[in-house]
Structure 1
Amino acid sequence: MNIPQRAVAVGLGAALLQALMLIAFAWPAVHTAPRDLPVAVTGPGVAQVVQRLAERSPGAIEPRTVSDEAAARAALAEREVYGAILTGPQPRVLVASGASPLVAQQLTQLAQQLSGVQSASAVEDVVPADPDDPRGAGFGAMALPLVMSGIAAGVLLSLLVPTAAARIAGLATFAVAGGLLSMVIVQGWLSILPGEYPVLAGVAGLVSFAVAGAVAGLATAVGRAGIGIAALTMLLVGNPFSAATSAPELLPQPWGAIGQALPPGAAVSLLRSVAFFDGAGAGGPLLVLLIWAAVALVLLGVGVVRERNVEPEPARAVPQPA
């Protein structure tokens, strides 16, 4: 392939990547809508409300009948549901914007139409978002920098650090420093997240390690092709389907579930759990991140063993002058 042909090939490849990025980021946004969204329902007339939900929005809401208001509040606090409809003479709606401001807004509108709630005073935000970020815009914008910085760190470690053992040290340094610094900005300066700083910094550090480790680990295992595979997976699948600005149940399936199995989606869910829900629902996303981090360490560990088993080339004898 001569230079002009190579230039054309690169241009076509870049155009294809651009098209994939447009699809990856725009398609989920266009098709954002409730899909089996769990909502608690309690009080007299529950059957009628459930029937109206099924008739008005088939497949959108998954109503879960609970015994009373206390049970509904408990389900919200444990991240088992996104909201609750309390029927009766004075119907009310409970939401949790800490789980997703967009879901809270949509659920409020839907519940008002179906249950007869007409006044704003009848809508209670049980787990509110941070007062400095009530719409979740800052939280949603936080996901992409975490992912991009992790990709960049993995790429730099793969290209500039020649040994797997040294890459592990670089990953650990990036995770600790990145977690501490990112939460200083996000929590201290921007005030996007409530909660305990050490816990949030630990989560951010684990996310940084998982993303950067995926890139560096695959690069160590399969060479430079691993950099592209890991980076594109995180950028084109993990980030747009992370549900940072919505919720997994609002994304087209199975992509919402796939997004939660990747570090960006798990990071968003884990940060919401520890920041707004005292750790409720943190087990699943924490396990996902730990698995990704463990796989990265295994791949890098294989690289360490492989490098140690490579026999050094014998030194060539220097010819002696006659």
Structure 2
Amino acid sequence: MSDDQDQEQDQDRPAAPGPGELSPEMKRSNVRFALTLPLFFMIMFPLCYITALHLPVPHDLPVAVVGAGAAAFIASAAPALAGKFTLVPVDTPQQATDMIFQQTVKAAYVTAPPGQSAHMLVAGADGRVMTQLVPTVFAPFAAQAGNTVQTVDVAPLAPGDGNGIGLMFFMLIVCIVGFMTANILGNAAYFLPMRTRVAISAGVAVLTPIVLFLFMGAWLQILQGTVGQIVAVIALGAVTSFTVGLATTALVAFLGKWALFPGMLVFVFLNIPSSNSAYPAEIVPPFFGWLSEWHLGAGFVDAVRAVLYLDGAGLGGHLLVIGLWFLAAVLLVGAAAWRKRAAAAGEADAGDEDGEGDEAGPAGAAASGAGPERVLLGRVHDHHGTPLPGAVVTLVDHRGTQTGRTSTTDEGGFRIDDLPTGAYTLIEAAPGHEPAARATVVDHHGGGGHGGRVGDIRLVAHEEEHRHRAAVATDGTVPPSAGSYGGS
């Protein structure tokens, strides 16, 4: 084939991305991501928030009925309240109060003789919706019995929590900070080892509830308690935030930037309606009520409520929910780390065969997926595709320090081991050919880089009149930038 024909074919071939450019596939992926994100918000906000919270309707909400007139009151009110309230006869007001603290009932109606005031026992800790809804529903039945209703709050909120939404926002901020920290670290700082990102998430998780308490407790008086109670709440917040961070770290390792969507769904959109906070589980749609039995956000809210307002009643079960989520998050991170090590081992095995065929080229790169963080693989050939044995490959870091140097095998393959992740300049030179250089990245993150495999590198002979850019064959994710910086 003539040089003119070679030149025409090279002109028809798509140009490799220059330094700092994205590949066409990555550009398309980014556009898909940018368009999917607002669509996701369009759907999730009304689906999870508006449908769950626009019309609170009780369903099987348990209420104790106390006193000598309990049987008559239940017989009178039960048919009208069927499906919405479950009426439970109880002997004494103290027993009913204990049941409210244990959350086996949400309120208690203490009957009284006609002409006297009946008492409605409620827990402000369950939220303002509960304390307003139940007395309003029971007032007409009290009037039929010749009674007025006096509301008694047996577990009042802190004075600064006027709307009863303090626990909800405390939980939401703890979860969002844990999620966003891990998500941003995993995508923008993917070059950091996973253990480093986990350690940063742990530090942020500890700091978050402390800062929140300074605002919500010391300043706004939304959260108040003894020193022991506040320490317990901060510890619960730290564990919950770190759990979210661990789970998100694993999601990012598996899904890359697309981890934003399952993470937001689980830790933000499903958290509010299922949190059993401002809107108790018994007055949101049954699906969210079911979620509140095991969801991390609800477990955290219930645990904090038990510590601050309910004398620790039921705390063990809520701690179990948080503990199970933490264990699941640890297992997920372990699976992500194992996957990374397996990919590294597979890539290293492929590198051992790099000089035995064409697997180091585009096909091998495409099959490799996410690569190791300490190995750089590739193959050097001329513009005809002929391997160049003995070509010198030099790797220089961003400070200009040489970090690796090797020569290609008889089949043109090369391998540089023991590399920290980061950005490098790869310089290739062969006798009788123009040297070439390119910016490249060695990284361990499947969604953010080319995984340690450079692919084919093409050098141009001195005698040729035209200059080619270095050809790039990647694994189909983010290709390294390529360009020709060689001498004349």
Alignment TM-score > 0.5, same fold: yes
Structure 1 stretch 223-232 or stretch 252-261: which is displaced more? Answer: 223-232
Q: Which runs of 5+ in 2 are unaligned?
A: 1-23, 346-373, 377-403, 409-428, 432-488
Give the alignment partner of residue 215 of structure 1, picking from 233, 248, 253: 248
Q: For 1:317, what is the secondary structure of its paired residue? A: strand
1:187 maps to which residue? Answer: 217
Q: Report matched runs for 1:1-322 at 5 Å.
A: 10-11=34-35, 14-89=38-113, 90=116, 91-116=118-143, 119=148, 122-159=150-187, 160-161=189-190, 162-195=192-225, 196-308=229-341, 310-311=344-345, 312-313=374-375, 317-318=406-407
Give the drift of 1:83: 1.1
State the distance in 1 between where 2:232 and 2:336 align: 31
The alignment's TM-score, normalised by the length of structure 1, stands at 0.87
Number of matched pairs: 321
Richer in strand (by share): 2
Q: Which runs of 5+ in 1 are unaligned?
A: none
- From the superposition, tell whether residues 141 and 175 of structure 1 become closer, same or farther in structure 2 (CA, over 3 Å): closer
Give the drift of 1:305: 4.0
For the pair shown, the structure with the greater C-alpha radius of gyration is 2
Q: For 2:87, what is the secondary structure of its paired residue? A: strand
Contact in 1 for aligned 2:244/2:329 (Cα 8 Å) = no
Structure of greater relative contact order (alpha carbons < 8 Å, 6+ residues apart): 1
Give me the identity figure in percent: 23
Give the drift of 1:13: 5.8
Give the drift of 1:118: 5.5
Richer in helix (by share): 1
Contact in 2 for aligned 1:221/1:300 (Cα 8 Å) = no
Q: For 2:286, what is the secondary structure of its paired residue? A: coil
Question: RMSD of the alignment, in Å?
Answer: 3.0
Contact in 2 for aligned 1:219/1:226 (Cα 8 Å) = yes
Q: Which string of whole-angstrom CA distances, capped at 9 and with x for unpartnered residues, describes residues 8-34 of structure 1?
A: 995476235313312211111123111
The alignment's TM-score, normalised by the length of structure 2, stands at 0.59
State the distance in 2 between where 1:6 and 1:180 align: 36
Amino acid of the residue matched to residue 100 of structure 1? G
- From the superposition, tell whether residues 293 and 65 of structure 1 become closer, same or farther in structure 2 (CA, over 3 Å): same
Q: Which string of whole-angstrom CA distances, capped at 9 and with x for unpartnered residues, describes residues 156-193 of structure 1?
A: 23221432222221222122111222222222112112
